[in-house]
Structure 1
Amino acid sequence: MNRNRAAHFAAAYALLRAAADYADHWGQSDFDAQCKGATDEAPVTYKHEGTGKETVVGTRGGRAACARHCLNYTATQGLVLVAGSRLLGIRLNPVAVAGALALSGLTHFAADRRVPNGLLHRLAKASGKERFYKLADHGMNGAYCLDQSWHHSFETLGALLAALGSSTR
C-alpha cells in the first residue's frame, strides 16, 4: 500500500467511525433503539414519550425498526465519507464506496437485530465470551461492548475497501 492509499484508508476509517458513532447513538430514534430486536416470541412494548401510548412490536416491526436504523446509519456514513473525502481532496472509487457501505450496513443489521440468541450472542458463546456478553454491572455492558467491537471491525474493512482505487485530485 503506498503512502497516499494508507492516508486515504486512515481518512476513510476516521470518517466512517465518526459518522457511525453519531448515527448509532444521536441519530437513532428511541423507538428503533428499543424495538429493533423485537420478535413475536419476545415482543417489545414501547411507551411513546409525550403521549404515553403503548405499542407492542413483534418480528415484523422489529425488522422494520432495525432496517430503518441501519438505512439511516449507512446513509449517514455515506454522506460523511463522500463529503469528507471531497474536502480532503481524495477521490474514492464509487464502486469501492458502495461496497464499503454495503458491508457496514448489512453487518450492522446482523448485529443489531439482536433477536433472542442472535448472531452476537451465538458468537460470544462460541468464543467463550458469553459471560462477558451478559455482563451488565460495574458500569459495563458486555453486549454493547461486543456490538461496538463488531461494528468497528467491519468499518475497518469498509475503510480498506473504500481506499482501494483511491486517488488524489
Structure 2
Amino acid sequence: MSNTTAGTRFAAAYAVLTAAHEVGDYWAQRDKDAIAKGKPGHEGRAACARHVASYTAVQALALAAADKSLALGLNWRRATAGLAISALTHYAADRCAGHWAETGPDAPALVRAAHRTGHTGWLTRAPEAGPLMDQSWHKGWIAFAAAITAGGRSR
C-alpha cells in the first residue's frame, strides 16, 4: 500500500500524462496519420483512431512506469478511466485537424463550439490559432484525466 496523497498522485499523473502527450502526439504519430486524421469518412476516422491508439499506449506506459518507480499506488480502474478520457477527447480534437478556420454547419462539432464561443476572428486570420486551440483542449482534458486517475484512496 502506498502512502501518497491524492494531491501527490495528481501532480505526478498530470506531469507524466502531459509529457507522454508530447511524445505520443509528435513522436509516436505516423506522418500519414497526421495528414489524414482530419479527413472525412473512414480514412480520416481510421487514421485518427490509429494515432489515438499509439498516443494512449505511450500515456499508459509512462503512467505505469511512474506508478512503479515513484510508488504512487495508483488505482488502475481510475487510471484506465483517466486514460479513456484523454483518448476520447484527443480523438474529438484531432478530427478537427485542418478544419479550425471553417465556419459552416459541416465543420466538426468542436470547431463549431470554438466559433460559438467567440473565436471566429482569431481562427480565421491566424494560422497558429487552430493548433493552439487543439493543444489547449488536450492539456485541459489531461488535467481532468489526471484528477480522475489520482482521486480516491491509493491501492
Per the shorter chain, which TM-score range? 0.7 to 0.9
- Give the deviation of 1:157 after TM superposition: 0.4
| 2:6 counterpart residue number | 5
Taking the aligned partners of 1:167 and 1:155, their CA distance within structure 2 comes to 20
The answer to whether structure 1 residue 146 and structure 2 residue 133 are counterparts is yes
Q: Which runs of 5+ in 1 are unaligned?
A: 40-58
Q: Distance in 1 between matches of 2:51 and 2:120?
A: 26
Aligned-pair CA distance for 1:164: 1.2
Which of 61, 68, 78 aligns to 1:79? It is 61
Aligned CA RMSD, in angstroms, stands at 1.6
Report how many residues are paired: 144
C-alpha distance after superposition, 1:61-98 (max 9, x if no partner): 11100000001111110110111121111111111011
Contact kept? 1:15, 1:81, Cα under 8 Å: yes
Greater RCO, 1 or 2 (C-alpha within 8 Å, sep 6+): 2
SS at match of 2:5: helix
Q: Are 1:133 and 2:123 matched, yes or no?
A: yes
1:70 aligns with 2:52: yes
Contact 1:104 1:155 in 2 (8 A): yes
TM-score normalised to structure 2 length: 0.87
- 1:112 paired residue among 70, 94, 104: 94
User: Where does the alignment leave 5 or more consecutive residues of structure 2 unmatched?
Assistant: 100-105
Flag the structure with higher strand content: 1
Taking structure 1 as the reference length, the TM-score comes to: 0.80
Change (3 A) 1:166 1:90: farther
8 Å CA contact retained: 1:23, 1:72 = yes
Per mean C-alpha deviation after superposition, the further-off stretch among 125-134 and 71-80 is: 125-134
Would the alpha carbon gap of residues 9 and 60 (structure 1) be closer, same or farther in structure 2, given more than 3 Å must change? Answer: same
Percent identity for Structure 1 against Structure 2: 41
